[in-house]
Structure 1
Amino acid sequence: MKKMIGYTLFITLLVVGAGGWVVQKYIFTPGEDKEVGSPEDLREAEEVITGAVSEEELDRYEEAGKNPFGKDTPADELTDYHYKEYIHGMSHQKVEASKKWGFYEIHPERITWLLEGLDQTDVEHKQLYKDILVKWKEEDFSTIDEDHNAIWNLQNGTIGKATGILSPTEEKEYIEGKK
């Protein structure tokens, strides 16, 4: 009986330890260059806006003093973390990937706002963000899977690498599924 209790205790500790390691490694440990701010920033990062964004919603965000993503961060305070999250989330609309976390609809107002923010901030990967956003502003999404993966790599992605570009029908279904 003592052996059975010992084995059970050992297995329980092993499972709890492995679970703790997974939580630490994949949930609470930021990427090498991921910026971690206040608890409010962390809560904001955990929230996900899903579905399409309407002109009415964008107007409501503006009236409430929020940015086009519905958040409080002004353009002149954007960090690499914000650019990675917003660009990555927008790219999900158009890319094939095994897993997708987060979604922001691609909208010209959002792209313009992010580009304007680049002129007001000093971020590490400024040229990459600019190259991607300028293409998207010109409605060139021919390399959006590569754009996604460039940002995904900066975020030290391990799951959800883009493997292609959705067809217009697949993109519409994806957006509809987010409503």
Structure 2
Amino acid sequence: MKQIIATTLLSFAVIALLAIGGYLFIQHEAAKSEEPDAAAGSVKDPEAQKIMDHLETAGTGLPEAMNETRMQFYLHEMTHSKVYAEDKWGTARPMTQANIEELLAIVEASSFKEKAFYRNTLEDWQNGDFSDAVDVHNTIWHWHGGSIGKATRLMSEEEEQAYLRTHLQ
């Protein structure tokens, strides 16, 4: 009898791990299929500024109908150009004024549960204040059960420029 219970529990554990792994894989693959289209912030490196100028004019390509989960993923992915984390899952989403303004308009027209959080975040970013990017990243990361890739700090300007060159060209 003990062997049957142990086998049953082990089977459920394996199935649960496979389900979680499948979910994370699907999320990762879905995020990879979306194309980044712009970069953000002011940079001093002329090469990086050229990238930023090109990406800023490329348009946002945000979906017209955005649900709250997608809003969370967009904000989370936008923080990737500002925060340091061992691993970053999802698309490198540009932190442009155009993206920020469009997301803010979507938030204002929404009835999202966390509307105040998104509005405060986007208004800070609109004013060039990214000091909360680590908290924003980790809050959304936590909401989605994050276990790998917690942000630990803001990146330096040099790290941001390197990230933009690598991920948003």
TM-score, normalisation: structure 2: 0.72
1:46 deviates by 5.3
- What percentage of residue pairs aligned between the two structures are identical? 28
Residue of structure 1 in register with 2:73 after alignment = 85
Q: Which amino acid aligns with 1:108?
A: Q
> 2:94 aligned to 99, 105, 114, which one?
105
> Residues 20-55 of structure 1: CA distance to partner in whole angstroms, max 9, x if unpaired?
6434113327xxxxxxxxxxxxx8655232474524
Instruction: For residue 142 of structure 1, give the secondary structure of its aligned residue in structure 2.
Output: coil
Q: Is the 8 A contact 1:52 1:175 kept in 2?
A: no
Instruction: For residue 28 of structure 1, give the secondary structure of its aligned residue in structure 2.
Output: helix
Residue of structure 2 in register with 1:120 after alignment = 109
Instruction: For residue 121 of structure 1, give the secondary structure of its aligned residue in structure 2.
Output: coil
Q: Which runs of 4+ in 1 moved over 3 A?
A: 20-23, 43-46, 50-53
Q: Is the 8 A contact 2:56 2:96 kept in 1?
A: no
Count of residues in correspondence between the two structures: 139
Larger radius of gyration, structure 1 or 2?
Answer: 1
> Residues 107-163 of structure 1: CA distance to partner in whole angstroms, max 9, x if unpaired?
001100111111211111111111111110011011211111111111221111100
Alignment of 1:15-164 (within 5 A): 18=14, 21-28=16-23, 45=31, 47-50=33-36, 52-53=38-39, 54-58=55-59, 68=60, 70-71=61-62, 73-74=63-64, 77-102=65-90, 103-164=92-153
Q: Is the 8 A contact 1:84 1:155 kept in 2?
A: no
Residues 1:81 and 1:164: Cα distance change in structure 2 (over 3 Å): same
Cα distance in 1 for residues equivalent to 2:129 and 2:158: 18
Q: Is the 8 A contact 1:78 1:121 kept in 2?
A: no
Instruction: For residue 57 of structure 1, give the secondary structure of its aligned residue in structure 2.
Output: coil
